Amino acid sequence: MKISAEVKVILKDDIKDPAGLAVENILKRTNIDAESSVRTGKFFSIKTFAQNRIEAMEKINKICTEVLTNPNLEQYEIIRIKEE
Amino acid sequence: MKAGIVVFPGTNCGRDTYEACRFLGWNAEYIWHNKSTLKDYDVIFLPGGFSYGDYIRAGCLAKFSPVMTAIREFIYSEKGMVAGICNGFQILCESGLLEGALTYNLNNKFICDDIELYFEGEEICLPVAHKEGRYIKPKDTVINDLIFLKYKRNPNGSDDDIAGLYDKKRKILALMPHPERAVFKETGNTDGIKIFNFIQKELNL
């Protein structure tokens, strides 16, 4: 079956995110919202094929752990996985 | 001394490294990244640049090039040393050949500057040029004995001011500064020669 998945990759909580901090500073300076805490990350949309849902999950997890994330720095979350 | 200089798509310091090696009287040749077997080298350089455009993360995609499998075998057979400079350091961390990881500089800037460093009990100065140079040390391993180069004034937020380190067997050495850009007197600084000599000393050649 045809699979489409969406994955979010974000730095681990204890790794400082300078891009997120830059956005926070802008929010403070412009008075848009002084209280926001912002973390930035990456989004991936993946289309593939699998025999069933279990195999689909295995494939997406393998792609995430071996290519999309560095386990020393980042964590990922499969936001959505569905049959097309 | 025979040096191999790996060139990935997007490597841009290969020529500098090549010319530096030749200037020091070493033999040098380029190795295209799709080579899966290697000739005998004393040292293999992974030079600086933006391999594969640094897509996803710096060094992330280069680790899948065939030459990296050959380099693993080269390290395992203890034929010689592997030296990673800048992007090469990032590739070695991404490959898991070195502990830890490199990510975005804390000040959010691409840092292009001459930086003072502590090396072998003395102060030296080398150029740096990177945006993902903040070294994050591994959580569960002590790496104090593996550090050979430290920043005097930490420019990028690296843990413990780390600018360069070894692997446990001291067969891999990597650093964020660019020694190959400080070899010729015309560049105004020749401290980079000390790093090349250090590699030669480590190899007992």
Q: Residue A60 belongs to a domain with what CATH number? A: 3.30.1280.10
Domain count, chain A: 1
Secondary structure of residue A27 in the 3-state scheme: helix
Q: How far is A70 from chain B (nearest CA, A)?
A: 7
B56 to chain A, minimum CA–CA distance in Å? Answer: 7
Range of the domain at B126: 2-202
Instruction: Please check whether residue B150 is in contact with residue B118, taking contact to mean a CB–CB distance below 8 angstroms.
Output: yes
Chain B stretch 128-147, residues whose beta carbon is closer than 8 A to a beta carbon of chain A = 136, 138
Each residue's pLDDT tens digit, A14-61:
999 999 999 999 999 999 999 999 999 999 999 999 999 999 999 999
**What number of C-beta contacts closer than 8 Å exist between A and B?**
33
Provide, as residue numbers in chain B, all residues whose Cβ is less than 8 Å from the Cβ of A21.
Answer: 108
Beta strands B162-166; B147-151: pairing state: antiparallel
> How buried is B105 (Cβ within 10 angstroms: 0-12 exposed, 13-18 middle, 19+ buried)?
buried
Pick the residue with more confidence: B184 or B139? B184
Residue contact B56–A67, C-beta within 8 A = yes
CA-based angle A77:A79:A81, to the nearest 5?
115
B157 neighbourhood in chain A, CB within 8 Å: 16
Q: How many domains does chain B have?
A: 1
Using alpha carbons, list the distances in angstroms from residue B66 to B14, B28, B31, B34, B80.
18, 20, 11, 5, 19
Nearest-CA residue of chain A relative to B102? A73
Max distance between CA atoms of chain A, in angstroms, equals 52
pLDDT of the residue at A84: 86
Q: Which of B82, B32, B83, B87 is nearest to B58 (CA)?
A: B87
Query: Which chain B residue shows the shortest CA-CA distance from A64?
Result: B56
Q: How far apart are CA B105 and CA B136, in angstroms?
A: 11
- B13, B130, B132, B178: which one is catalytic? B178
Distance from C-alpha of B22 to C-alpha of B180, rounded to nearest angstrom: 11
| Spatial CA neighbour of B35 closest among B86, B74, B84, B76 | B74
pLDDT class for B205, splitting at 50, 70, 90?
confident
User: Quick check: is B122 catalytic?
Assistant: no
Check residue B140 and give its pLDDT. Answer: 86
Q: Do the bridges between strand B147-151 and strand B27-32 make them parallel or antiparallel, or are there none, so unpaired?
A: unpaired
Q: What is the CATH number of the domain that holds B86?
A: 3.40.50.880
Q: How far is Cα B124 from Cα B118, in angstroms, rounded to an integer?
A: 6
| Confidence at B127, pLDDT banded by 50, 70, 90 | very high
Tell me the residue range of the domain where A57 lies.
2-83
Tell which B residues from 88 to 107 touch A, by Cβ distance under 8 Å: 93-94, 100-101, 103-107
Determine whether the interchain pair B108/A68 forms a contact, defined as Cβ–Cβ distance below 8 Å: no
Per DSSP, what are the bridge partners of residue A63? none
What interface predicted TM-score (ipTM) does this complex get? 0.88
Q: Do B138 and A72 touch (CB under 8 A)?
A: yes
